[in-house]
Structure 1
Amino acid sequence: MARSDRLLRLLQALRTLPHPVTAVRLAEETGVSVRTIYRDIDGLRAAGATIDGATGLGYHLVEDMALPPQTFSRVEIEALVLGLEEVKHVGDPKLARAAEAVFAKITATLPERLQLHAIHAVNGIYRPTAPAAPSLDMAALRSACWQEDVLAIRYTDEKGQTTDREIWPLSILYLENALILIAKCCRRKAFRRFRIDRIKDFSPTGHSFRPHRVALLREFVSQAQAEERRPSDTKSR
């Protein structure tokens, strides 16, 4: 591992782990030896990071030289914390870990007074039960949207009929009781909302629809807004 990558990984561990964090714990988190941790702590200090602590006592990242200072109002901090807590609840494991990392990066750039606001936020998210984890690889599905990869999917509709389709994946919507994949169906030549729990499997076809995703999303939003404005009796036809 390159030294620069190692130092970035150590910084992230110092941001995210409860402090004071021991060199042994940092070594476990970053996959290096304790001796390397001691050297890298010295290296981070020399580069401008303020790290309290010493051998045997544990370490605390006081000031992070890798991130610029941030200024948020208290209500903005509450909004950030609430949003990230929601992601940790409804997101798949990778999204949940990303939300934790974002929180750590943000709080690392705040003055101490605002760090306390973030850690002890007034607002919070509580759900007695966690949502069912998707059976699909959500990271791969998000990547297909970003990369604009044409996907082959096997989908079971509400009547129980299973079909094979090719789609252009555009966006993932988190509804209260379901995850929805917004896509352009190649067979229907139209936008479709696919419930992700009904997608049995998917795979890249090797084709791309780049660079149409952003324009298609705008078109989808425009159509959805037009449907919402349409009188209810017209919608039901």
Structure 2
Amino acid sequence: MRRADRLFQIIQILRRGSRPVTADAIAAELETSKRTVYRDIADLIGQRVPIRGEAGVGYVLEGGFDLPPLMLTADEVEVAVLGAQWVATRGDPALAKAAQDLVAKIGAAVPEHLRPLILDPAVRSHRRWDLAEDKLDMARARAAIHAGEKVWLRYADEQGRETERTIWPFAVGYLDAVRLLVAWCELRADFRTFRTDRVVEAKFLQERYPERPGILRARWRKAMNREPYPA
């Protein structure tokens, strides 16, 4: 690996880590020596890259630092294209359009030698023709999540029995054939998942719920160790 590529990869490793990353871990990923990592870290610090830490403890990349946009490897381009294809065929209309726009922007910005990976990609994600139809405005649902606002639902379970709920939505799950709205349910006083194709009626209340969406997501992840939630 060229030295310039190695320095770039070290920054990427530190950028994705939420905790200090040791020189051993960096060396193992880059298949180089720990001595080389120490030397590269010192060079990056000398170039004013805000890396904090020390040998034997680990290194972190401080906030506020970024690289020039779209310095992507071939593998990263293929990941972006495959992900955008998946969203374009399974996302709601607003996300599908955004996925197409993303691919166009990447194609216009990457170096010439990477453009064939976008114009004629070797990776493919095909449309699911059995994808269940949303009975909910997913763009508004995502906006409600970002704003931390309540949604009222009339919802039918798998037997067709309807209930009315006021929920605090905080996540959308995209499965192969269905989409799920994950929320705190005031009726059940617990977390619930709602299939968007079973929503009979929805009203976006523009009323903030008392928790932040990020806190609800953290609580829900902890609660996932329990039994699955019935709707």
Q: Residues 156 and 132 of structure 1: is their aligned pair in 2 closer, same or farther, counting only changes over 3 Å?
A: closer
Secondary structure (helix, strand or coil) at the match of 2:154 reads strand
Q: TM-score, normalised by structure 1?
A: 0.63
C-alpha contact (below 8 Å) 1:178/1:195 kept by paired residues: yes
Q: TM-score, normalised by structure 2?
A: 0.64
| Partner Cα separation in structure 1 for residue 223 and residue 106 of structure 2 | 37
1:203–1:120 CA distance, 2 compared to 1 (3 A) = same
Shift, 1:94, TM fit: 1.3
1:128 Cα deviation after fit? 6.4
- 1:214 is paired with a residue whose SS is helix
CA contact (8 A) 2:178 2:196 kept: yes
Match of 2:201 in 1: 201
Partner of 1:123: 123
Measured after TM superposition, the shift of residue 69 of structure 1 is 4.8
Answering whether residue 87 of structure 2 is matched by residue 80 of structure 1, we say no
Counterpart for residue 169 of structure 2: 169
AA aligned opposite 1:186: E
Aligned to 2:133: 133
The residue type paired with residue 200 of structure 2 is: K
Contact 2:155 2:163 survives alignment (8 Å): yes
Residue 110 to residue 148, structure 1, CA distance change in 2 (3 Å): same
Conserved? CA contact 1:89–1:130, under 8 Å: no
| Residue range with higher mean Cα deviation, 149-158 or 112-121 | 112-121
Shift of the 207–71 alpha-carbon distance from structure 1 to 2, 3 Å rule, reads: same
Q: CA RMSD in A?
A: 2.2
Runs of 4+ with >3 A deviation: none
Shift of 1:133: 3.4
Q: Tell me the number of residue pairs that the alignment of Structure 1 and Structure 2 aligns.
A: 162
Letter in 2 for 1:111: P
Gaps of 5+ in 1: 1-67
Residue 227 of structure 1 corresponds to: 226
1:145 and 2:145 aligned: yes
Partner of residue 110, structure 2: 110
Amino acid at match of 1:85: Q
Q: How many percent of aligned residue pairs carry the same amino acid?
A: 33
Deviation at 1:130?
A: 6.0
- The secondary structure found in structure 2 opposite 1:227 is coil
CA shift, 1:199, in A, is 1.0
Q: CA separation of 1:205/1:101 partners in 2, compared to 1, >3 Å: closer, same or farther? A: same
The letter for the 1-side match of 2:214 is: V
Sort the Cα spacing of 1:197 and 1:119 in 2 relative to 1 into closer, same or farther, 3 A.
same
Find the residue that maps to 1:202 and give its secondary structure. Answer: strand
Which residue is 1:98 aligned to?
Answer: 98
Residue 184 of structure 2 aligns to a residue in which SS? strand
Unaligned residue ranges in structure 2 (runs of 5+): 1-67
Distance, in Å, in 1 between the alignment partners of 2:172 and 2:69 is 32
